[in-house]
Chains A and B, each alone.
Chain A
Amino acid sequence: EDQVTQSPEALRLQEGESSSLNCSYTVSGLRGLFWYRQDPGKGPEFLFTLYSAGEEKEKERLKATLTKKESFLHITAPKPEDSATYLCAVLNSGYALNFGKGTSLLVTP
């Protein structure tokens, strides 16, 4: 059975304090790993898709990496507006995404 585990559940950072969020997965036939950002009361906003081990993608202060067992979302010099819940999901041979429970990030000034 496919499993997606995100850690930590919650993370509090000071503005400018870089850190990483983890998404570990077990899935047969990974077709893609997805990162989303979700603000309270809103739908998830797409950030990145990674397809193969060694792949990296960047967007502003965010960088996503992928290995055969896990993905990291690195946040460099975060700002308060980066506060949100970050969701990881995997796509296998089926048609729908399998989501982790998310990491709630709070960045304080």
Chain B
Amino acid sequence: DGGITQSPKYLFRKEGQNVTLSCEQNLNHDAMYWYRQDPGQGLRLIYYSQIVNDFQKGDIAEGYSVSREKKESFPLTVTSAQKNPTAFYLCASTENRDSQETQYFGPGTRLLVL
């Protein structure tokens, strides 16, 4: 089955700790994205990558870092500099056919601070 997987489903972070959220897709999509979702707010873009070895900051990149070494993988690290990391994190990828772009989402990772 083709799709986007995120792991873990739940992640607990201790103060001062860096944690990494995994996102993998087997859809052969070029572009991948990380969003953050907080209660009562829309999804906000953290980082995106249009191609391997290249990525750009989104609206709320401070305290986060990413890498894109493989087309299938786009991990997100939440660093200790992110002071309010508790949120639901969503990874997405874009299928681009004939200028019609459809963005598909993974199941999400919920990050909680201990």
Known contacts A87-B43, A96-B58: does B100 contact A49 (CB below 8 Å)? yes
Q: Are A43 and B40 in contact (CB under 8 A)?
A: no
Residue from the list A42, A49, A96, A102 in contact with B42, Cβ < 8 A: A102
The tally of residues in A whose CB lies under 8 Å from a CB in B reads 24
Q: Are B50 and A101 in contact (CB under 8 A)?
A: no
From 38 to 62 in chain B, residues with beta carbon under 8 angstroms from any chain A beta carbon are 40-45, 48, 50, 56, 58
Chain A residue with the shortest CB-CB distance to B105: A43
Secondary structure at the B interface, as helix, strand, loop or mixed, is strand
**A contact residues around B43 at 8 Å (CB):** 44, 87, 89, 97, 99
Q: Are B42 and A51 in contact (CB under 8 A)?
A: no
**B contact residues around A41 at 8 Å (CB):** 88, 108, 110
The tally of residues in B whose CB lies under 8 Å from a CB in A reads 26
The complex places the Cα of A49 from the Cα of B99 at a distance, in Å, of 12
Q: Does B31 contact A (CB under 8 A)?
A: yes
Q: Does B17 contact A (CB under 8 A)?
A: no
Q: Does A68 contact B (CB under 8 A)?
A: no
What are 15 A-to-B residue pairs whose CB atoms are below 8 Å? A4-B42, A41-B108, A42-B108, A43-B108, A44-B43, A44-B90, A46-B102, A49-B100, A87-B42, A89-B43, A95-B50, A96-B45, A97-B45, A100-B42, A101-B41
